[in-house]
Structure 1
Amino acid sequence: MLTSAYDQYKQQSIVTLTPGEMIVKLYDEAIKRCNFSVKYLDDKDYEAANVCLKKAQDIVSYLNSSLDKNYSLSAELSPLYDYIKNQLITANIKKDTQPINDVLPLLKELRDAFSTAEKSVRKS
């Protein structure tokens, strides 16, 4: 019963997020999955690393596919998302943490930028 109530709470909290808050949550999850995958690769737990890297790739793909092409920023973000996704694929194939470590700062910077923009919009 407690799990059910918690699941309902989580679902409700996601449904009530603004689009900006949802984007920040997606970045948070991608960053978390990348950090886990680094740990798993270091521990040679390749199956767990694969799961985390695929989830991070899915999130980046979603962010890329949801870009509004009417804005010039989208034209700049799309190749960056492609690069990040390709680095995550490379990390997964080669079982190497370096490509992940190369894109983590980018993900964090994008997350912070979207978070700042979302807070600015909310104050308006």
Structure 2
Amino acid sequence: MRYNAAQAYLKTQVTTTSQEELVIMLYDAAIKFLNRAKIKIKERDMAQKGILISKALDIIAELDGSLNVKQGGELAKNLHTMYFYCNTRLLKANIELNTEIIDEVIHILSQFRSAFAEILPGAKHSTSAPASQASLY
């Protein structure tokens, strides 16, 4: 019963949240999963570590797949390249159990999240942005 209520709440939150806020939520979730994966590496819980890194990879893939390359232009292409870089680094971190690589990806995603919150209209703590940047996703 409690699970159904949580699912209904989450569905309502996602359907009533702006696109900009959803992107920020995705960054937050990926960062959260990666921080938890680092803990699981230290605890030697390889199964959970793998699940958490996979969740972060899924989010990065969603962010990458949502890019609007036509309207986002060079910025969208650069983000695509950085998402690919993050994916390859996380795959390496997963195999090598390397928390420093995970920290590197967390730093990159945190920077993207902060920049995104600043440039997109409607996002938390945003300033006004040119319309061309607003169509990045």
TM-score under structure 1 length normalisation: 0.90
Q: Which residue of 2 aligns with 1:50?
A: 50
What is the letter of the counterpart of residue 44 of structure 2? K
TM-score under structure 2 length normalisation: 0.82
Instruction: Extract unaligned runs of 5+ from structure 1.
Output: none
Q: Aligned partners of 2:39, 2:23: CA distance in 1, in Å?
A: 25
In the alignment of these two chains, the number of paired residues is 122
What is the letter of the counterpart of residue 120 of structure 1? T
| Distance change (3 Å), C-alpha of 1:26 and 1:44 | same
Q: Aligned partners of 1:2, 1:94: CA distance in 2, in Å?
A: 38
Q: Which has the higher contact order (CA 8 A, sep 6+)?
A: 1
Q: How far did 1:6 drift? A: 3.4
Q: Aligned partners of 1:62, 1:4: CA distance in 2, in Å?
A: 25
SS class of match (1:67): coil
Q: Which residue of 1 aligns with 2:82?
A: 80
What is the letter of the counterpart of residue 103 of structure 1? V
Q: Aligned partners of 1:92, 1:26: CA distance in 2, in Å?
A: 20
User: Identity across aligned pairs (percent)?
Assistant: 29
Instruction: Extract unaligned runs of 5+ from structure 2.
Output: 129-137
Q: Which residue of 2 aligns with 1:120?
A: 127
The answer to which of 68-77 and 20-29 deviates more is 68-77
Greater helix share, 1 or 2?
1
Q: Which residue of 1 aligns with 2:99?
A: 97
Q: Aligned partners of 1:59, 1:2: CA distance in 2, in Å?
A: 25
Q: How far did 1:120 drift? A: 3.4
Q: How far did 1:3 drift? A: 4.2
Q: How far did 1:74 drift? A: 0.5
The answer to which of 50-59 and 64-73 deviates more is 64-73
What is the letter of the counterpart of residue 68 of structure 1? N
